[in-house]
Structure 1
């Protein structure tokens, strides 16, 4: 499976002739191009850095073959589009071409008691090949080979991120949700969380537009 990293929380995943995009938000400059080539869009929650509502709605209008999966709030914002917008919750499974997807988790990580905590789901793909948790440190009850790890934002904390990696026990980490860190901050975070740091797990930093094989 091929993974392409876009800015912030957005990634494209491709296997055989199937292509899906996770979390094309307003912080991702090339989200439109990513969605234009996708068979499906998966959204973890409705925050704008993960979900560009206007972009996804326009893609649904112009591409009758496109399907979108997300929380109830995401589905309500988009409308049905003839059954092509799917509301998902933990325990659901579906396929995009040859890619199997299972849904995990329930809630966004707490930022502050005064800020509402929306629903948030994570997506486990291809039998554990890769897991995108959205904005939550929820550990799926399944083996994960590649964990996409959020490393910046108002809800993140390095100690909690380290404990999260230890609980998931992935074979490798790829940093996502890193846009709020400087280059120095990203490198420092990788050193603390990576193979020679708190988790003992190899961590990869990918520049936006970079692709790797998983």
Structure 2
């Protein structure tokens, strides 16, 4: 278990920031997040190539702002960035493990969830951070097969429905879940998902759910 306090900062849509000691890790600063979501990052993780998770211009800005920053991602994204930042963009896949800044990261998953059978599936990887303290699955309901304390939960997408989201949490069995992938929801939608993932809903198998608004932060329990 991580013995150092980690701060979780919610950014727009699918992006989260983790801050521990002097290290900052950003996951999925895409086009639906704040333009400066990745600026100041020491390490950046990208789950897949869809524009709401990957914005090449914003990543380039972050990499230029911090010459020591590095990116870990799958091949389809790495190929677009590696030529401009030699030695700073790393290709990863399912089963890999590495250190990004001061964070220990494991890679889980291989494919994006099915949007429609007639559409090709792109590669998607999820990231377990610091021995299960955080899991960000990207655009898939990947079960990492190991304990997870805080699940970044994609609550709303063209590829999912509420029953699948609930059953996914029950299968992963985290201590807590945080709403993620919610950039297409209105206030009415937030109210519905907050209720269904809370005490009034069918139940998450004991996990406590929370929604942070963009810019809001919380300290993750040790």
TM-score of the pair, normalised by structure 1: 0.94
Assess if the C-alpha contact under 8 Å between 1:195 and 1:203 holds in 2. Answer: no
The question of 1:49 aligning with 2:46 is answered: no
Q: Which residue of 2 aligns with 1:209?
A: 215
Shift of residue 190 of structure 1? 2.3
Runs of 4 or more consecutive aligned structure 1 residues displaced over 3 Å after TM superposition: none
Assess if the C-alpha contact under 8 Å between 2:39 and 2:65 holds in 1. Answer: no
Shift of residue 187 of structure 1? 2.1
Q: Which residue of 2 aligns with 1:97?
A: 101
Assess if the C-alpha contact under 8 Å between 1:194 and 1:201 holds in 2. Answer: no
Shift of residue 195 of structure 1? 4.1
In structure 2, the gaps of 5 or more residues are 1-5
Assess if the C-alpha contact under 8 Å between 2:115 and 2:158 holds in 1. Answer: yes
In 2, Cα distance between the equivalents of 1:145 and 1:39? 23
Aligned length: 212
Shift of residue 86 of structure 1? 0.6
Which range moves more in the overlay, 190-199 or 129-138?
190-199
The question of 1:147 aligning with 2:151 is answered: yes
In 1, Cα distance between the equivalents of 2:166 and 2:95? 26
CA RMSD of aligned residues (A): 1.3
How big is each residue's C-alpha offset from its partner over 1:50-86, in whole Å with a ceiling of 9 and x where there is no partner? Answer: 0111211233344321101111101011124221101
The question of 1:10 aligning with 2:3 is answered: no
The question of 1:167 aligning with 2:171 is answered: yes
TM-score of the pair, normalised by structure 2: 0.91
In structure 1, the gaps of 5 or more residues are none
Shift of residue 156 of structure 1? 1.5
How big is each residue's C-alpha offset from its partner over 1:182-210, in whole Å with a ceiling of 9 and x where there is no partner? Answer: 12212211222234422142110111000
